[in-house]
């Protein structure tokens, strides 16, 4: 799988792409957003297909005050 968050914008097919945590669509292209944080020495992340889906995400990052 090609890294979908790569700045290289390499081709990635829809089956290999991560899914949007708001709407479930494949996360592809320039509009995608990723929220990343560290919890208990692990990197956690959520993918979104665009800024609107990111804004709709209501789950808070665990461990965030």
> What is the domain-level CATH number for residue 24?
2.30.170
Is residue 2 pLDDT above 60, yes or no? no
pTM, 2 dp = 0.70
Answer whether residue 54 is part of any domain. Answer: yes
Give the integer Cα–Cα distance in Å for 20 and 6.
17
Answer whether residue 2 is part of any domain. Answer: no
Number of structural domains found in the chain: 1
Answer whether residue 48 is part of any domain. Answer: yes
Report, in this order, helix, strand and coil percent for the chain, each rounded to 5.
10, 25, 65
- Helical segments of the chain, H only: 51-56
Domain span at residue 55 reads: 17-59
Answer whether residue 33 is part of any domain. Answer: yes
10: Cα within 13 Å, side-chain hemisphere: 8
Query: Bigger pLDDT: 51 or 59?
Result: 51
Nearest-CA neighbor of 34 among 13, 20, 15?
Answer: 20
- Contact present, 14 and 36 (Cβ < 8 Å): no
Confidence of residue 63 (pLDDT cuts 50, 70, 90): low
Per-residue confidence (pLDDT) for residue 8, from 0 to 100: 46
Answer whether residue 26 is part of any domain. Answer: yes
């Amino acid at each position: 799988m090609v890294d979908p968050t790569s700045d290289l914008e390499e081709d990635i097919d829809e089956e290999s792409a991560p899914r949007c945590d708001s709407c479930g669509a494949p996360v592809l292209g320039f509009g995608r957003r990723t929220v990343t944080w560290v919890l208990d020495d692990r990197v956690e992340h959520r993918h979104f297909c665009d800024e609107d889906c990111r804004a709709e995400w209501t789950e808070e990052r665990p461990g965030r005050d």
